[in-house]
A = this chain, B = another copy of it.
Amino acid sequence: MIKKKTAKRKNKYVYFFGGRKADGKSAMKNLLGGKGANLAEMTNLGMPVPAGFTISTEACTYYYDNNKKYPGRLKQDVLDTLAKVEKVMGARFGDKDNPLLVSVRSGARVSMPGMMDTVLNLGLNDVTVKGLAKETGNERFAYDAYRRFVQMFGDVVLGLKPKGKDEHDPFEVIMDKIKNEKGVKLDIELTTDDLKRLVKLYKDEIKKKTGKIFPEDPYGQLWAAIGAVFESWNTGRAIAYRRINKIPEGWGTAVNVQSMVFGNMGEDSGTGVAFTRDPATGEKKFYGEYLINAQGEDVVAGIRTPQPIEKLGKELRKPYNELSEIYKKLEKHYKEMQDMEFTIQKGKLWMLQTRAGKRTGLAAIKIAVDMVSEGLITEEEALQRIEPEQLNQLLRPVFDLNEKRKAINEGKLLAKGLNAGPGAASGKVVFNAVDAEEWAKRGEEVILVRIETSPEDISGMHAAVGILTARGGMTSHAALVARQMGKVCVAGCGTLKIDYVARQMQVANRVIKEGDYISIDGTTGEVILDKINTKPSEILQVLVDKKLDARRSAIYRLFEKLMKWADKRRRLKIRTNADQGDQALIALAFGAEGIGLCRTEHMFFGEGKIEAMREMILAKDKAGREKALAKLLPIQKKDFIEIFKVMKGFPVTIRTLDPPLHEFLPHQEKEIKKMSEVMDISVEKVKAKIESLKEMNPMLGLRGCRLGILYPEITEMQVRAIFQAACKVQSSGIDVMPEIMIPLAGHVNELKQQAVVVHKTAKEVMEQSGEKINYTVGTMIELPRAALTADEIASVAEFFSFGTNDLTQTTYGLSRDDAGKFLYYYYEKDILKDDPFQTIDQDGVGQLMELAVKKGRVARKNLKIGICGEHGGETKSVEFCNKIGLNYVSCSPYRVPIARLAAARAALKRKKK
Contacts and interface: CB of A to CB of B under 8 A. Distances in A.
Interface of A: 695-702, 704, 706, 709-710, 744, 746-747, 749-750, 753, 782-785, 788-789, 792, 806, 809-815, 817-819, 821-822, 825-826, 829-832, 841, 843-845, 847-848
B813 A744 contact: yes
Nearest to A821: B702
A704 B814 CA distance: 11
B806 A785 contact: no
A533 B811 CA distance: 49
A696 B826 contact: no
Contact of A700 (B700, B704, B844): B700
In the A-B complex, the 3 residue pairs with the smallest Cβ-Cβ separation, listed nearest first, are A700-B815, A785-B844, A697-B815
Given A746-B814, A813-B806, A831-B747, A841 B697 contact: no
A747 B832 contact: yes
20 contacts: A695-B818, A696-B698, A696-B699, A696-B817, A697-B698, A701-B821, A709-B829, A746-B811, A746-B814, A747-B832, A747-B844, A749-B831, A750-B831, A782-B813, A783-B812, A784-B844, A785-B845, A788-B811, A788-B843, A810-B813
A432 B695 CA distance: 22
A847 B790 CA distance: 12
A841 B748 CA distance: 13
A783 B825 contact: no
A706 B820 CA distance: 12
Nearest to A701: B818
B784 A822 contact: no
A25 to B, nearest CB: 39
B788 A700 contact: no
Given A695-B818, A789-B844, A710 B749 contact: no
A876 to B, nearest CB: 18
Contact of A809 (B700, B702, B825): B700
A582 to B, nearest CB: 30
Contacts of A702: 818, 821-822
Nearest to A851: B788
A845 B786 CA distance: 11
Contacts of A700: 697, 699-700, 809, 813-815, 818-819
A697 B831 contact: no
- Interface centre among A706, A710, A806, A813, by most chain B C-beta atoms within 10 angstroms, is A813
A622 to B, nearest CB: 13
A746 to B, nearest CB: 5
A789 B846 CA distance: 11
Contacts of A792: 843
B809 A783 contact: no
A829 B711 CA distance: 13
A734 B539 CA distance: 77
A564 B809 CA distance: 46
A783 B709 contact: no
B697 A832 contact: no
B697 A818 contact: yes
Contact of A822 (B710, B747, B831): B710
A811 B810 contact: yes
A756 to B, nearest CB: 11
A183 B194 CA distance: 139
A843 B789 contact: yes
Contacts of A783: 811-813
Nearest to A693: B821
Given A696-B699, A753-B831, A831-B753, A812 B847 contact: no
Contacts of A819: 700-701
Given A746-B813, A811-B788, A812-B783, A822 B699 contact: no
A839 to B, nearest CB: 14
Contact of A848 (B697, B788, B825): B788
A821 B695 CA distance: 10
Given A702-B821, A709-B831, A784-B811, 20 more contacts: A695-B817, A696-B815, A697-B699, A697-B818, A700-B813, A700-B814, A701-B819, A702-B818, A702-B822, A706-B822, A746-B814, A746-B844, A747-B831, A750-B831, A753-B831, A783-B813, A784-B810, A785-B811, A785-B812, A788-B843
Contacts of A699: 696-697, 700, 813, 815
A736 to B, nearest CB: 31
A850 to B, nearest CB: 10
- Interface centre among A695, A697, A812, A825, by most chain B C-beta atoms within 10 angstroms, is A697
A825 B709 contact: yes
A709 B826 contact: yes
B785 A841 contact: yes
Nearest to A845: B785
A811 B810 CA distance: 7
A311 B815 CA distance: 71
A753 B829 contact: yes
Given A700-B700, A818-B700, A831-B749, A847 B813 contact: no
A796 to B, nearest CB: 13
Contact of A825 (B704, B710, B744): B710
A476 B829 CA distance: 35
Contacts of A829: 709, 753
A779 B430 CA distance: 48
A701 B815 contact: yes
A493 to B, nearest CB: 16
A830 B784 contact: no
A140 B534 CA distance: 106
A788 B849 CA distance: 12
A822 B698 CA distance: 13
A704 B818 CA distance: 14
A809 B815 CA distance: 13
Nearest to A813: B783
A695 B822 CA distance: 12
- Interface centre among A750, A815, A817, A848, by most chain B C-beta atoms within 10 angstroms, is A815
Contacts of A782: 813
A848 B806 CA distance: 18
- Interface centre among A753, A789, A809, A811, by most chain B C-beta atoms within 10 angstroms, is A811
A698 B832 CA distance: 21
